[in-house]
Structure 1
Amino acid sequence: MQVPVFTVDAFANRPFSGNPAAVCLLENDLDEDLHQRIATEMNLSETAFIKKLHPTDDFTKSSRFGLRWFTPANEVPLCGHATLASAAVLFHIKKNPNSVLTFVTLSGELKTRQEKDHIVLDLPLYSTYPQELQEVEELIKAATGDMIVQDLRYSPDTKKLLVRLSDAYERSVLEKLQVGAQRFLSAEKTGKVKGLILTLKGKPNGKDKGHDFYSRYFAPWYGVLEDPVTGSAHAVLSSYWSEQLGKKEMLAFQCSRRGGELKISLHDNGRVEVAGQFAIVLKGNLTL
């Protein structure tokens, strides 16, 4: 059995930057255990599986598909960069002519569209709530050391902890911070955190003016020590920074080693559009 597979660098304007995702096109149903085994074999932060909803569907013509995402360790309920990668494969390799592609997922229906050289994701927007430091103090210490934390929020819908560093810090401080994310597993005592976001306000007058905020994202609970660029984390960050900055249109940058830029647009219907560029770097087949 041959399964077409592609590697796409999402939120990237050139190869070998942004966040790589594997995308598998399933012409036929796959044995359930094979999804996880393939994702473990691909060994990227996410592997996406696009499935036909009906036997007569066609990757080159249909507008609705099933979509699932797996890390090397687990299935996850939402992955932005692998959704962008999936849309890139359908739009640019399969030449799908539809203006909007809809994916049926564990997080509901997600719509994607093309806008010039970007792909736009329509994602749910997740609110954050104040988090008591005492509950997660050991985890914060493991993540930030002695750095000053300005705000601490929790997103119950996504189980993500948002840690805002002091506005006094520059982007370079966040980029250079050495984070041993493997230690988070023993430091997190509450059982409610499955992802940790470090974030920093942009400096409008600095050399990187134009970026409203910066972030890094860690998810060792899902087998991902640091994710290069994370669409789902920005479904949380967008809510927080829109409230803090009083803006609905923002430009964000995730400061991982590979790095990636995200264009953000909030809507009044509780959704957020996250847009990014992409580079398709590999085309092939899995032999099962």
Structure 2
Amino acid sequence: MKLPIFIVDAFTAKAFRGNPAAVCLLENKLDEDVRQSIAKEMNLSETAFIQKLQPTDNFAHSSHFGLRWFTPASEIPLCGHATLASAAVLFHKINNVNSTLTFVTLSGELRATRAEDGVVMDFPLYPAHPQDFHEVEALIKTAIGDTLVQDVRYSPDIRGLLVRLSDSYDRSFLENLKVNTSNLLQVENTGKVKGLILTLKGEPGGETHAFDFYSRYFAPWYGVAEDPVTGSAHTVLSSYWSQQLGKKEMRAFQCSCRGGELKLSLCSDGRVDIRGDAAVVVEGTLSV
């Protein structure tokens, strides 16, 4: 069996930045163990599988598709950058004629709309609840040592622990912070936490673009030590920072070594629009 496959750098307009995802187009059903093997072979944080919902569907003309995401270790319920990558492939490589695509996923229906400056994704907005620091102190100390922490929240929707660093730190501190992920699975093995979000309040623009907040994301529980740019984490970050800053429109930057920009708009229906660009860097055929 031969399958069309692409590698797309998401949340960036330039190749070799942002977050790379593999995107595979499926004409027919594919066993889950084969999907997992493909994701392991691609060895990226996520591999997305776009599948036709009906035999008569067409990748260039249909507007509804199934979408699933696999890390090298397991399937995940929500992924932003691989959704952006999937939409970019359909819009720019398959030349899909629709302005909006709907993906049927484990997190419900997600819409992706073509825009002049990339793709706008309609995602759920997840709250982050106050978390007793002492209950997660061992996890936080293992990850970042004695780094000063200003706030700790927890999102059950993505099983993510949000750790806000002290406002006394700046972007360069977060970028250069050494995070120990190798021991996190031993410290937290209950299944409650599947991702660690470190975040920091933004700074005035000065000579660079102004960002409302910064973040980094770690998910060794899914086999991803650090994810370069994480759309799903921003379903929680958007909710948190909107409350903290009193803003509905925000610009965010994820401070991984590759880096990526996201534009966020909270909607009246309780969801969030996540806008980003993407660059297709590889297209080819996968032999299974």
**Which bin holds the TM-score, normalised by the shorter protein?**
over 0.9
1:165 aligns with 2:165: yes
| Cα shift at 1:205 | 5.5
| Cα shift at 1:138 | 0.8
The equivalent residue for 2:23 is 23
In the superposition, relative to structure 1, how do residues 207 and 172 fare at CA in structure 2: closer, same or farther (>3 Å)?
Answer: farther
In the superposition, relative to structure 1, how do residues 209 and 11 fare at CA in structure 2: closer, same or farther (>3 Å)?
Answer: closer
| Cα shift at 1:159 | 0.4
The equivalent residue for 1:151 is 151
| Cα shift at 1:191 | 3.4
| Cα shift at 1:117 | 2.5
- Supply the AA of the counterpart residue of 1:91: F
- Supply the AA of the counterpart residue of 2:261: E
| Cα shift at 1:188 | 1.8
**Any conservation in 2 of the 1:142–1:184 contact (CA below 8 Å)?**
yes
1:93 aligns with 2:109: no
Rounded to whole Å, the distance in 2 between the matches of 1:125 and 1:165 is: 22
The equivalent residue for 1:138 is 138
The equivalent residue for 1:249 is 249
- Supply the AA of the counterpart residue of 2:246: G
The equivalent residue for 2:107 is 107
**Any conservation in 1 of the 2:144–2:180 contact (CA below 8 Å)?**
no
**Any conservation in 2 of the 1:135–1:190 contact (CA below 8 Å)?**
no
Rounded to whole Å, the distance in 1 between the matches of 2:69 and 2:103 is: 12
Measured against aligned partners, the alpha-carbon deviations of 1:155-178 in whole angstroms (never above 9, x if no partner) come to: 011100000000110100000001
The equivalent residue for 1:194 is 194
Instruction: Give the match's secondary structure for 1:135.
Output: helix
**TM-score, normalised to structure 1's length?**
0.98
Rounded to whole Å, the distance in 2 between the matches of 1:43 and 1:160 is: 23
**Any conservation in 1 of the 2:79–2:231 contact (CA below 8 Å)?**
yes
RMSD (Å) for aligned C-alpha atoms: 1.0
| Cα shift at 1:268 | 1.8
Rounded to whole Å, the distance in 1 between the matches of 2:128 and 2:182 is: 24
**Any conservation in 1 of the 2:162–2:199 contact (CA below 8 Å)?**
yes
Structure 1 unaligned spans of 5+: none
The equivalent residue for 1:37 is 37
| Cα shift at 1:184 | 1.1
Rounded to whole Å, the distance in 2 between the matches of 1:71 and 1:13 is: 23
Instruction: Give the match's secondary structure for 1:182.
Output: coil
**Any conservation in 2 of the 1:254–1:260 contact (CA below 8 Å)?**
yes
Instruction: Give the match's secondary structure for 1:150.
Output: strand
**Any conservation in 1 of the 2:24–2:49 contact (CA below 8 Å)?**
yes
Moved over 6 A (4+): none
Measured against aligned partners, the alpha-carbon deviations of 1:13-66 in whole angstroms (never above 9, x if no partner) come to: 200000000000001211221110100000000000000000000000000000
Q: Percent identity?
A: 68
- Supply the AA of the counterpart residue of 1:90: L
**TM-score, normalised to structure 2's length?**
0.98
- Supply the AA of the counterpart residue of 1:282: V
Measured against aligned partners, the alpha-carbon deviations of 1:117-175 in whole angstroms (never above 9, x if no partner) come to: 21111100000100001111011111221111000000011100000000110100000
- Supply the AA of the counterpart residue of 1:135: E
The equivalent residue for 1:270 is 270
Instruction: Give the match's secondary structure for 1:112.
Output: strand
The equivalent residue for 1:82 is 82
Rounded to whole Å, the distance in 2 between the matches of 1:230 and 1:123 is: 13
**Any conservation in 1 of the 2:205–2:211 contact (CA below 8 Å)?**
no
| Cα shift at 1:208 | 4.2
The equivalent residue for 1:51 is 51
The equivalent residue for 1:119 is 119
Q: What are the equivalent positions in structure 2 for 1:52-71 lying under 5 Å apart? A: 52-71=52-71
The equivalent residue for 1:229 is 229
In the superposition, relative to structure 1, how do residues 207 and 145 fare at CA in structure 2: closer, same or farther (>3 Å)?
Answer: farther
Aligned length, in residue pairs? 288
